[in-house]
Amino acid sequence: MKKTAILLMLITIVSKIFGFARDITLSYFYGTSNISDAYLISLTIPMVIFSFIGTAITTGYIPLFNELEQKYGEKESNKFTNNLVNLLLILCTIIVILGLIFTEQIVKIFASGFEGETLALAVQFTKISILGIYFTGMLSIFGGFLRIKGNYTIPALVGFPMNFFIILSIFLSSKTNILVLSIGSVIAIASQLILLIPFIYKEGYRYNFVLEVKDDNIKKMLYLVLPVVIGVSANQINTLVDKTIASSVSVGGISALNYSFRLIGFVQGLFVTTISTVMYPMISKMAVEDNIKGLKKTVAESINSISILVIPATIGAMCFAEPVVKLLFGRGAFDAEAISLTSNALFFYSIGMIGFGLREILSRAFYSLQDTKTPMINGTLGVTVNIVLNIILSKFMGIGGLALSTSISAIFCTVLLFISFRKKIGSFGMKNIAISFIKVSCASLVMGVIAKLLYNILIKNIGANLALIAAIIIGALVYFVMIYFMKIDEVDSVIEAMKKKVKKSVENQ
């Protein structure tokens, strides 16, 4: 698992750099304007609508495919895949038709503060971007198929063509027609699917027309994922409430939340998504084989790995929220007000970074055990907390209050999931997890203090950007030196593996 996770992290780093180039391009040409708000809402709408289905498919498809292949062989599991593909295409068509008919009403639900030109733009953008649902649906199935077959690399590479086409469309839209923004986003999503097709064929998938609505496996999947859909809907209600309130708080509020959450998403994508993507098929197979001991060990290792990587990133983001935003986005149409709005949101989103990460790992652990009800209840409680806090904190803190509400909600949900998972499977190393968490937190705080002091000294001599880069590098070195001596199992095992690899290389020479 560790080797695969490291490879995926390297791919993700490069992919996320391209992702930042995309965000920087958007911020350069459109800043935090009504155009960027309308464009981002048009992307959010199909994403939110389909995320119910996409998450449900990803969650239910992998364990059911494993079960069918183990019991009945490849022919039956491929038949199940084809049936799911065809049913999904029908469902996507229904969603697209309804979306095109009720576009304005849907936009008003997602951004009640939009009026006049901004509303008209958002409606135009959404009528185009909603077509991307077809490609997103297929990606959720075929990405899962490749991961089941042990191919994690290709699904991780889909961000490259997507980011290329989005960057190109942003540039072309500034020179030609603004609608090129949305056309480009659809082409970008389609390019991801095109990349996967040769590889799913290589892994043995063959398309056949199978359409059995009453298939027992589809029924079982629906039963399994219905709570997931409800749970995801709770998370999407969070997104909806955040952006609806942001559209009323200030012009550019939606863009500020988006840019700041994209920075948080860099850490989540690099560490959390990478680890959970590798972990989920493994623990799903362990659950099918009733290997609960192996499942517990893998989940505990994943939790500790997330803590080691995410906690220092949290402290770093909180210490350097404004310099980071200024370095990445502070040019072109992205003015001082945009920097202030975005860095404020980033600071408060950072508080919940560990909550976002561990919630993902624990939810996947429940899904592997075919328990989707617990995360659903957890998500419903979380959205309730978030909505209440959104209404209260946005009045006093503006955009920052919306970000803080999301963070508090994520931490609250994570604590509840820990308690529920402990009750479900018994002890899974909570003492070691807690000790590791404390060690990592102490090292991260020391790192933060040293990096901040160094930044304040260097900024007077070499400028803000170079001072920031130097402070981050030295802070990271301090952190890794400290955890090296703290006797954390996950750190020790990685170092031991590296020593063996170096020794083997020397011996081979």
- Averaged pLDDT of the chain: 80
Say what percent of the chain tops pLDDT 90.
Answer: 2
Average of per-residue pLDDT across 29-50: 77
Q: Running DSSP on this structure, what letter comes out for residue 130?
A: G
Alpha-carbon distances, residue 131 vs 99, 189, 190 (angstroms): 9, 10, 10
Band of residue 145 on the pLDDT scale cut at 50, 70, 90: confident
- Report residue 253 as tokens: 């509020």
- Give the count of beta carbons closer than 10 Å to the beta carbon of residue 271: 21
- Answer whether residue 168 shows pLDDT above 60: yes
**Is the confidence at residue 295, as pLDDT, over 80?**
yes
Q: Which amino acid is at 322?
A: E
DSSP per-residue string spanning 283-342:
HHHHHHTT-HHHHHHHHHHHHHHHHHHHHHHHHHHHHTHHHHHHHHH-STT--HHHHHHH
Highest-pLDDT range among 23-32, 158-167, 225-234, 245-254 = 158-167
pLDDT at 399 over 60: yes
Q: How far is CA 55 from the centre of its chain?
A: 11
Q: For 426-449, what is each residue's pLDDT tens digit? A: 887 788 888 888 888 899 999 999
Mean pLDDT of 200-218: 81
Which amino acid is located at 208 in the chain?
A: N
Could you count the other beta carbons within 10 Å of the beta carbon of residue 505?
A: 9
Secondary structure, 3-state, 407-433: HHHHHHHHHHHHHHHHHHHCCCCHHHH
pLDDT exceeds 80 at position 107: yes
Give the total residue count for the chain.
509
- Secondary structure (DSSP) of 65-94: HHHHHHHH-HHHHHHHHHHHHHHHHHHHHH
The pLDDT, as a whole number, for residue 80 is 81
Judged against a pLDDT cut of 80, whether residue 70 lies above it is answered with no
Contact, 124 vs 162, CB < 8 A?
A: no
Q: pLDDT-derived band of residue 276, with 50, 70 and 90 as boundaries?
A: confident
Higher-confidence residue of 235 and 124: namely 124
Whether residue 319 is predicted with pLDDT greater than 70 in this model: the reply is yes
508 to each of 83, 320, 468, 504, 505, how far by Cα in Å? 50, 45, 41, 6, 5
395 alpha carbon, distance to own chain's centre: 28
Choose the most confident range, by mean pLDDT, from 259-268, 277-286, 382-391, 443-452: 443-452
What pLDDT score was predicted for residue 5? 59
Q: How far, in Å, CA of 175 to CA of 70, rounded?
A: 55
pLDDT over 70, % of the chain = 86
* The pLDDT of residue 445: 92
